[in-house]
A and B are shown apart, each in its own frame.
Chain A
Amino acid sequence: AQSVTQLDSQVPVFEEAPVELRCNYSSSVSVYLFWYVQYPNQGLQLLLKYLSGSTLVESINGFEAEFNKSQTSFHLRKPSVHISDTAEYFCAVSEGTGANNLFFGTGTRLTVIP
């Protein structure tokens, strides 16, 4: 089974500063990669995904993530955060087989400070 590591459990950052949330996974087989966001008292929403093709993927609200196969990483970045980005972010990996099960990291709580 996959193992997904999000080393930073909490990341405080000032508004308009850049941020990077780190994600590493264990397997070297072909994988599909996802970042989900969870706002307080809500379910998870897909932020962005890597399925194939360009290793840099972007979301509609300015986040981007880069798939690095050699380092088995899928770090999430944003050049300038807003207060509204305060949420918990989960990295998830699928091997794309069987029931398409997702393996989740433990999450990173991003707090944007005014």
Chain B
Amino acid sequence: NAGVTQTPKFQVLKTGQSMTLQCAQDMNHNSMYWYRQDPGMGLRLIYYSASEGTTDKGEVPNGYNVSRLNKREFSLRLESAAPSQTSVYFCASTRTGGNYEQYFGPGTRLTVT
């Protein structure tokens, strides 16, 4: 099993450009998540998807959109990138049920200039 995979690993964007971060998991998990990690702030939840076909806002959703394409894939889109979106983005997944840990991808390091 590959676990949770993310593409790309690194990306540099100019202000105003758009891009989509891809995430896929092969563990048959129902729930998937997008986080951003900034120094001194830990991980903050951007969006999550409790099951295929549903998505919900997390703590910091402004400037982002998501798509739960199918059970395996959950993408994050920046429509008009801003320097404040410079961050490391992590995708995670878990089984539904309440007592299962989340499994994380390796992250995407995004710089917006």
Interface set of A (CB-CB < 8 Å, partner B): 4, 6, 9, 32, 34, 36, 42-46, 49, 51-52, 90, 94-102, 104-107
Closest Cβ of chain B: how far from A86's Cβ, in Å?
A: 17
Residues in B with CB closer than 8 Å to A4 are 42
A101-B104 contact, Cβ under 8 Å, with A94-B98, A96-B98: no
A104 touches B40 (CB 8 A): no
| Residue B43 is within 8 A (CB to CB) of chain A in the complex | yes
Stretch of B12-20, B70-78, B79-87, B89-97 at the chain-chain interface? B89-97
Q: Can you list 13 A-B contacts (CB < 8 A)?
A: A43-B106, A44-B104, A45-B104, A99-B31, A99-B50, A99-B56, A100-B98, A100-B100, A100-B102, A101-B48, A102-B33, A105-B42, A106-B40
With the chains together, A51 CA to B98 CA distance in Å? 9
A43 touches B98 (CB 8 A): no
Closest Cβ of chain A: how far from B48's Cβ, in Å?
A: 5
Residues in B with CB closer than 8 Å to A9 are 40
Closest Cβ of chain B: how far from A10's Cβ, in Å?
A: 10
Interface set of B (CB-CB < 8 Å, partner A): 4, 31, 33, 40-45, 48-50, 56, 58, 90, 92, 94, 96-107
Closest Cβ of chain A: how far from B100's Cβ, in Å?
A: 7
Closest Cβ of chain A: how far from B37's Cβ, in Å?
A: 9
**Chain B residue with Cβ nearest A43:** B104
Closest Cβ of chain B: how far from A25's Cβ, in Å?
A: 13
**Chain B residue with Cβ nearest A98:** B50
B102 touches A102 (CB 8 A): yes
A44-B96 contact, Cβ under 8 Å, with A98-B50, A100-B31, A101-B48: no
**Chain B residue with Cβ nearest A96:** B98
Pick from B43, B48, B99, B104: contact of A32, CB below 8 A. B99
